[in-house]
Structure 1
Amino acid sequence: MYVIKNLMEELVQKYYEKINDELGVCKCEKCKADVMALALNRLPPRYCVTEDGKMFVKLKELEIQFEVDIIAALAAAAYVVKNNVRHEERDCSDEM
């Protein structure tokens, strides 16, 4: 059985973890999920089925523009989430 995977999800999570301190967003799981979902909606999906497809996406990740696009999408999403927090302050156990 083949599994279809959107590798953009892995890449967005990877870059989110790298720059999350600079984003200035609450670090709770709800805000993290909101930022990542909004960013993914701004980016083209990168689906693959084979290992060759996965390797192609990983190589593409090395291109500077690809990295810039992901970081820009995360920054735009973080701005939206910061200005439209969807949880009560008491629900957020993590400090900024």
Structure 2
Amino acid sequence: MIKNYMEDIIDHILPDLIKEHKDICTCDRCIEDIKAVALNKLPPLYIVTEKGLVYTKLNELKSQFKINVITELALAIEIVSQNPNH
């Protein structure tokens, strides 16, 4: 099974960012739009094996990696907040 692990990373980080932005809409459509915008800007992290998962999780611990993900999510929150599709 092939999987884009970046989706899991976003699912893990996004709830904390949403708590910091209390003025944004948190309907399912807006949340999915935020994820889509961020995923389109971030490089995919496709994994197929457990070894790939371990390597990817180690990479996730690097601070620049996390900063990049948070930055793209914050930008996506702003984009969707200014142009909601619901």
Question: 1:22 corresponds to which residue?
Answer: 20
Query: CA-to-partner distance for each residue in 1:13-68, whole Å, 9 max, x for gaps?
Result: 11001221123421111100000000000100000100000001100110000100
Runs of 4+ in 1 over 6 A off after TM superposition: none
Question: 1:8 corresponds to which residue?
Answer: 6
Where does structure 1 lack aligned partners over 5 or more consecutive residues? 88-96
- 1:1-96 correspondence to structure 2 within 5 Å: 3-23=1-21, 24-87=23-86
Deviates more, 1:72-81 or 1:21-30: 21-30
Asked whether the equivalents of residues 2 and 46 of structure 2 are also in contact (C-alpha less than 8 Å), the reply is yes
After TM superposition, the score normalised by the length of structure 2 is: 0.94
Whole-Å Cα distance in 1 between the matches of residues 14 and 39 of structure 2? 11
SS of the residue corresponding to residue 37 of structure 1 reads: helix
After TM superposition, the score normalised by the length of structure 1 is: 0.85
Where does structure 2 lack aligned partners over 5 or more consecutive residues? none
Q: What is the number of equivalent residue pairs in this alignment?
A: 85
What's the C-alpha RMSD, in Å, of the aligned pairs?
0.9
